[in-house]
């Protein structure tokens, strides 16, 4: 029995609102009963509910009772201004509840009397709390919430997402006892034809145990059987609920139905439950992963099977990893070329959640940290506002104290006011958070794992309430203690026109701190902006404007012959090229920035490498001759593919500049022989400029190009179409031409190349956007802070300045003097900020592109911008100081 104590919140409630004997007896009864119910194992939820209910009824019932009893007292004698605590008519040690009510009412009235202050302070808090809540929601949904699978913490990814051979999969299955089940998967894009338009559907080939690893079985039908992994018996498929409803109208007779997948008839054996989130979000179909015992290529260590497993209860990833190590060592001994050190080091076991969110984790914490700075700035600002307010109200406090209000009472009154302000800020902050989240969710959808699951939930509300209450304590306590410590006599004597310099130290320190934190955020934003700008200037190696792209996937059943594939590409390009508005057409296997790539090791004939030495690798790209002109790739030397490069002719390749440098140095590569794909020999006929295949931020790598008309190795390609005008306007015509040629070829991923580029840089742009947003808020808050403090110090020093002007001080000197004083904390903040930025921006290193974290130009620019903004902020109140009418000020004494 671990927790027999009743829930905390109602217990505290009872404790606060009941008193004396009544509290003792009622709390005792409820606790006794609670323990009794808990020991009967009624279920903790039922027991807790019971306690809550009882506590709430006790509290409300008692309060109403008491309210009736004190009846007249509440509406009692009206000695002084009504409601103000501390005035007459307050019985000593009066009812707590009534006093709280009074404090709240008085606090609301006090806030209402100063609408400017309330709005500025409330909005400042709302921005801070709202931005934090939004950021925390993202962090919570992406990093903290467990995945939607039963016992999801036991699901692990094996070997760092490295593709393994199926034989290695079998070894892991047999040798690692820490896993209760192991499964392999290969992502697939399958063509679904037959009823309705041909469609390419993302999915996976999975081993039969996949569904027990994930812990979720099909809602209708069954999972795959082990026999269905055998070639020839694998013509079965499991559908997602969404595919079942959109494509098959949720037909209850779907089980046993035959559908056409990749051109072959396939039987539906199951439908996954609705709301099921697959391991890879886009998957909508599952087919069996076949293991052919007679296919030796499958056992050579080159196949691309990724492995997922479920840990035995009580087993740890570390233990499983120790069991993987012998398998990795054996593989290395068998085939050292294929299994380098990196491969052996990658033999790890990672919880699935960590594996999926890995890259984004540090980024999100970084964003939460920066948004935390925004909240600190907001708090500092509000504290300053309250301090200033507290000073103006010193007289008010003194009057109350002189009329008999205790210091404790005044502190409580001021704290109530701050709490109200904090709650107001928190409530508006939640609205700000919801608005921010709707923007964020839209931007995060594709780029961030689990980005679609982001929502505001009760934990986030707790976080918001927590931050806003902590904020309240931080900024409420200091001014309250100050105000209550006021010397009554001094305040009453003092006309309020003279300055009390010592008090300003606190404000100045806070302003300095605000400036410093703003500078750190601005530096971060500046670095990211520069990085984004540099990224946009990168030459991708092709011309992206007026370029339409779409993916064609030839169903394997109908296009199994290489000739048929080559013929199809030729025909589709001819037909599309004949459409109005189309300038040229090409087909490329792996569209730049779209992810997939393939590598081959190569060897230059004239420079043979010693036996056993590691071979260099190049990315392989397959395309049709029309692609060079269509994409605008630059031909540097030699020639491009032409009609002479047929399957019958000598095999030729074009290489990029990076490969020419790597393989041939200063020699001319044209005419040289290179061995690739094992022992196939290719003649290099030309060199082209580097294309940023893997992303704009990835450097150029060696790449070899092959003609699809000579080696029709790929049955799925991206059709690229250069248009004279808006590429989107050509989509309908192109689709029509493709459908007329063969309606069973699914078309997917239709996008202009500009859109593809935008998607590829979405992460970096989102990060820049968020950081700029936070830094912008910080800048505004920092400037408001400087303005507020200078402005207040001017009004405090009205008397002093008045005297000096009466004695002949020039207005220019007054302005200089006021601004000079303001410059001290600002300058101090800038210096601290530069040091802070220097240390903190290092955290951005991994996401910066070609910018050093401590880029001096960026630091200089943001320091100057912030300095000028602070000067402008102090200029207005300084000017006001210079217009003080000495006669008027002196008359108030």
Closest distance of CB 43 from other proteins, Å: 17
CB-nearer residue toward other proteins: 33 or 199: 33
Closest CA to 236 of 196, 189, 310, 290: 290
Q: Which residues contact 306 (CB under 8 A, 6 or more apart)?
A: 157, 161, 162, 163, 164, 184, 185, 186
Closest distance of CB 72 from other proteins, Å: 19
C-alpha 796/C-alpha 494 separation (Å) is: 12
CB-nearer residue toward other proteins: 23 or 98: 23
Closest distance of CB 2 from other proteins, Å: 16
CB-nearer residue toward other proteins: 35 or 503: 35
Q: What angle do CA 883, 884, 889 make, to 5 degrees?
A: 165
CB-nearer residue toward other proteins: 23 or 114: 23
Exposure b/e, 428-437, CB count within 10 A at least 16 = b: bbbebbeebb
CB-nearer residue toward other proteins: 59 or 170: 59
Closest distance of CB 44 from other proteins, Å: 18
C-alpha 161/C-alpha 467 separation (Å) is: 38
CB-nearer residue toward other proteins: 27 or 780: 27
C-alpha 680/C-alpha 677 separation (Å) is: 6
Closest distance of CB 33 from other proteins, Å: 6
CB-nearer residue toward other proteins: 53 or 233: 53
Cα separation of the two ends of the chain: 72
C-alpha 189/C-alpha 212 separation (Å) is: 23
CB-nearer residue toward other proteins: 4 or 470: 4
Closest distance of CB 23 from other proteins, Å: 9
Strands 716-723 and 547-553: antiparallel
Residues 536 and 714 sit within 8 Å (Cβ to Cβ): no
C-alpha 872/C-alpha 650 separation (Å) is: 73
CB-nearer residue toward other proteins: 29 or 642: 29
Residue 496 DSSP SS3: coil
Strands 258-261 and 236-239: unpaired
Q: Which residues contact 113 (CB under 8 A, 6 or more apart)?
A: none
Token code pair at residue 692: 């940023």
CA distances from 250 to 58, 268, 539, 709 (A): 52, 13, 48, 42
CA distances from 523 to 370, 646, 844 (A): 11, 57, 11
Closest distance of CB 52 from other proteins, Å: 12
Token code pair at residue 368: 């939460």
CB-nearer residue toward other proteins: 26 or 636: 26
Closest distance of CB 69 from other proteins, Å: 11
Residues 212 and 242 sit within 8 Å (Cβ to Cβ): no
CB-nearer residue toward other proteins: 22 or 354: 22
CB-nearer residue toward other proteins: 60 or 852: 60
- Residues facing 675 on adjacent strands: 603, 681
Backbone phi, then psi, for 350, in 5-degree steps? Answer: -125, 135
Closest distance of CB 3 from other proteins, Å: 13
Closest distance of CB 31 from other proteins, Å: 4
Closest distance of CB 102 from other proteins, Å: 25
Token code pair at residue 889: 């000020």
Closest distance of CB 471 from other proteins, Å: 34
- What is the total residue count of the chain? 893
CB-nearer residue toward other proteins: 17 or 617: 17
Token code pair at residue 98: 């009534």
Closest CA to 553 of 596, 582, 598, 584: 596
Residues 518 and 782 sit within 8 Å (Cβ to Cβ): yes
C-alpha 209/C-alpha 226 separation (Å) is: 8
Closest distance of CB 141 from other proteins, Å: 39
Closest distance of CB 19 from other proteins, Å: 13
**Exposed, middle or buried by CB within 10 Å (0-12, 13-18, 19+), for 575?**
middle
C-alpha 745/C-alpha 830 separation (Å) is: 62
Closest distance of CB 4 from other proteins, Å: 9
CB-nearer residue toward other proteins: 5 or 816: 5
Q: Look-up: residue for tokens 């009794």?
A: 36
CB-nearer residue toward other proteins: 13 or 453: 13
Q: Look-up: residue for tokens 């209550």?
A: 484
Site residues, other proteins (CB under 8 A): 5, 21-22, 24-33, 35, 53-54, 57-62, 65
Closest distance of CB 359 from other proteins, Å: 50
Q: Look-up: residue for tokens 């809550």?
A: 52
CB-nearer residue toward other proteins: 37 or 259: 37
Residue 166 DSSP SS3: helix
CB-nearer residue toward other proteins: 21 or 253: 21
For residue 442, how many other CB atoms are within 10 A of its CB? 10
Closest distance of CB 95 from other proteins, Å: 17
Closest distance of CB 54 from other proteins, Å: 5
Q: Look-up: residue for tokens 């004997």?
A: 21
C-alpha 514/C-alpha 828 separation (Å) is: 11
Token code pair at residue 620: 């392989």
DSSP symbol at 164: B
List alpha helices for 403-502, DSSP H: 407-447, 458-484, 488-493
DSSP symbol at 91: -
3-state helix vs strand vs coil in the chain, percent to 5: 55, 15, 30
CB-nearer residue toward other proteins: 53 or 605: 53
């Amino acid at each position: 029995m671990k927790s027999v104590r009743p829930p905390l919140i109602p217990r505290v409630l009872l404790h606060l609102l009941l008193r004396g004997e009544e509290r003792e007896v009622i709390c005792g009864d409820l606790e006794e009963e609670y323990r009794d119910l808990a020991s009967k194992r009624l279920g903790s939820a039922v027991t807790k509910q019971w306690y809550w209910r009882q506590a709430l009824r006790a509290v409300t019932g008692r309060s109403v009772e008491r309210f009736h009893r004190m009846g007249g007292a509440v509406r009692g004698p009206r000695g002084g201004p009504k409601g103000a605590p501390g005035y007459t008519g307050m019985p000593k040690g009066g009812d707590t509840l009534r006093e709280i009510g009074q404090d709240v009412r008085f606090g609301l009235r006090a806030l209402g009397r100063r609408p400017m202050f309330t709005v500025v302070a409330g909005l400042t808090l709302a921005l801070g709390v709202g931005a934090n809540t939004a950021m925390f929601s993202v962090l919570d949904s992406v990093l903290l919430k467990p995945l939607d699978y039963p016992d999801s913490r036991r699901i692990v990814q094996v070997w760092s997402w490295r593709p393994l051979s199926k034989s290695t999969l079998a070894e892991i299955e047999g040798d690692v006892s820490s896993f209760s089940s192991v499964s392999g998967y290969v992502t697939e894009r399958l063509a679904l034809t037959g009823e309705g338009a041909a469609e390419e559907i993302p999915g996976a080939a999975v081993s039969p145990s996949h569904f027990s690893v994930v812990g979720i079985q099909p809602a209708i039908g069954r999972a795959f059987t082990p026999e269905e992994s055998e070639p020839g018996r694998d013509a079965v498929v499991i559908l997602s609920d969404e595919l079942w409803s959109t494509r098959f109208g949720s037909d209850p007779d779907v089980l046993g139905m035959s559908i056409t997948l990749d051109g072959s008839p396939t039987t539906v054996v199951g439908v996954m439950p609705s709301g099921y989130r697959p391991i890879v979000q886009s998957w909508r179909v599952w087919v069996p992963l076949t293991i052919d015992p007679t296919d030796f290529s499958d056992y050579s260590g080159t196949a691309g099977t990724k492995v997922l497993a479920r840990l035995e209860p009580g087993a740890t990833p570390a233990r499983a990893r120790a069991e993987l190590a012998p398998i990795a060592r054996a593989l290395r001994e068998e085939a050292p070329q294929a299994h380098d050190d990196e491969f052996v080091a990658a033999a790890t076991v990672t919880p699935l959640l960590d594996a999926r969110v890995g890259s984004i984790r540090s980024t999100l914490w970084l964003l939460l940290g920066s948004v935390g700075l925004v909240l600190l700035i907001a708090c500092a600002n509000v504290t300053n506002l309250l301090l200033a307010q507290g000073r103006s109200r010193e007289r008010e406090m003194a009057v109350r104290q002189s009329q008999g209000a205790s210091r404790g009472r005044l502190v409580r009154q001021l704290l109530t006011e701050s709490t109200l302000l904090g709650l107001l800020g928190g409530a508006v902050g939640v609205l700000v958070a919801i608005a921010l989240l709707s923007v964020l969710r839209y931007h995060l959808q594709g780029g961030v794992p689990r980005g679609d699951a982001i929502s505001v939930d009760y934990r986030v509300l707790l976080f918001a309430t927590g931050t806003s209450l902590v904020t309240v304590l931080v900024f409420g306590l200091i001014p309250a203690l100050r105000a209550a410590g006021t010397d009554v006599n001094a305040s009453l004597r003092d006309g309020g026109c003279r300055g009390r310099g010592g008090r300003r130290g606190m404000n100045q320190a806070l302003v300095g701190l605000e400036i410093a934190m703003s500078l750190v955020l601005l530096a971060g934003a500046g670095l990211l902006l520069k990085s984004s700008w540099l990224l946009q200037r990168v030459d991708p190696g092709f011309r992206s404007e007026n370029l339409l792209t779409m993916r064609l996937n030839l169903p394997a059943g109908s296009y199994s012959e290489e000739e048929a594939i080559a013929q199809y590409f030729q025909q589709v390009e001819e037909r599309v090229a004949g459409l109005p508005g189309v300038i040229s057409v090409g087909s490329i296997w792996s569209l730049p920035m779209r992810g997939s790539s393939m590598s081959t090791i190569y060897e230059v004939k004239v420079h043979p490498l010693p036996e056993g030495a590691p071979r260099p690798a190049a990315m392989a790209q397959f395309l049709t001759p029309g692609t060079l002109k269509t994409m605008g790739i630059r031909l540097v030397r030699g020639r491009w593919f032409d009609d002479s490069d047929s399957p019958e002719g000598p095999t030729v390749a074009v290489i990029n500049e990076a490969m020419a440098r790597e393989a041939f140095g200063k020699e001319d590569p044209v005419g040289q022989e290179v061995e690739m794909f094992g022992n196939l020999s290719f003649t290099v006929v030309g060199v082209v400029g580097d294309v940023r295949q893997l992303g704009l931020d990835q450097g150029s790598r060696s790449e070899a190009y092959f003609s699809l008309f000579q080696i029709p190795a790929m049955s799925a390609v991206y059709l690229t179409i250069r248009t004279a005008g808006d590429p989107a306007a050509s989509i309908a015509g192109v689709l029509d031409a493709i459908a007329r040629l063969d309606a069973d070829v699914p078309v997917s991923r239709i996008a202009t190349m500009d859109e593809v580029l935008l998607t590829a840089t979405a992460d970096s742009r989102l990060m820049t956007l968020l950081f700029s947003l936070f830094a912008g808020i910080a800048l505004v808050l920092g400037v408001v802070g400087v303005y507020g403090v200078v402005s207040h110090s001017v009004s405090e020093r009205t008397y002093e300045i008045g005297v000096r002007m009466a004695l002949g001080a020039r207005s220019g000197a007054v302005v200089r003097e006021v601004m000079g004083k303001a410059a001290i904390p600002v300058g101090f903040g800038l210096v601290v900020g530069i040091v802070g930025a220097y240390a903190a921006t290092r955290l951005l290193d991994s996401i910066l592109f070609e910018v050093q974290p401590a880029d001096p130009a960026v630091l200089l620019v943001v320091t100057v911008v912030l300095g000028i903004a602070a000067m402008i902020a102090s200029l207005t109140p300084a000017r006001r100081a210079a217009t003080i009418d000495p006669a008027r000020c002196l008359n108030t004494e």
